[in-house]
Amino acid sequence: MPLVRIDMLKGRTPEQRRIIADVIYDAMISTLNVPQNDRFQIISEHQSGELLIDPTYLGIQRSPDAIIIQITLNEGRSVDLKRAFYKAVADGLRDRAHMRTEDVFISLVEVKKENWSFGNGLAQYAT
């Protein structure tokens, strides 16, 4: 059900991009109860100047390697689950992709279940 968009500056290898995507997917499964095989991710690379991320907002020192992760998902998860997810992603990217946790910006966009169609022109989750 989640749709993940990952925005970053150009320059990472295909392997690095895959590790970033895998970390996010693994964290969704382990903390947000996303089922296996529910993987829909878009990785977009941008030229310098096309990705504007404030380097000091809220006192967090971000580098030019900062990424933005936006996830559209069904509404209803608790704040505690979301906090666990944010931490799992930041820690996983630090450990597996050698990224700074300060460089991980995450935004969750919650929608009602009827706002999805996974194919065949059907609203599979609508009740």
88 within some domain: yes
Task: Give the β-pairing of 67-74 and 41-46.
Answer: unpaired
At which residue do the structure tokens 């009740």 appear? 127
pTM for the whole thing?
Answer: 0.94
The rounded distance, in Å, linking the Cα atoms of 42 and 24 is 12
Burial 65-90 (b: 16+ CB within 10 A, else e): ebbbbebbbbeebeeeeeebbbebbb
* Domain membership flag for residue 85: yes
67 found inside a domain: yes
CA distance 70 to 23: 14
Catalytic residue list contains 2: yes
Domain count, the chain: 1
Residue 125 placed within a domain: no
**Domain-embedded: residue 127:** no
Q: Which of 2, 14, 35, 55 is catalytic?
A: 2
Spell out the per-residue pLDDT of the chain, length 127, in tens.
Answer: 799 999 999 999 999 999 999 999 999 999 999 999 999 999 999 999 999 999 999 999 999 999 999 999 999 999 999 999 999 999 999 999 999 999 999 999 999 989 999 999 999 988 8
Q: Which domain holds residue 100?
A: 3-115
The amino acid at residue 122 is L
CATH number at residue 64: 3.30.429.10
Block residue for tokens 């059907």: 122
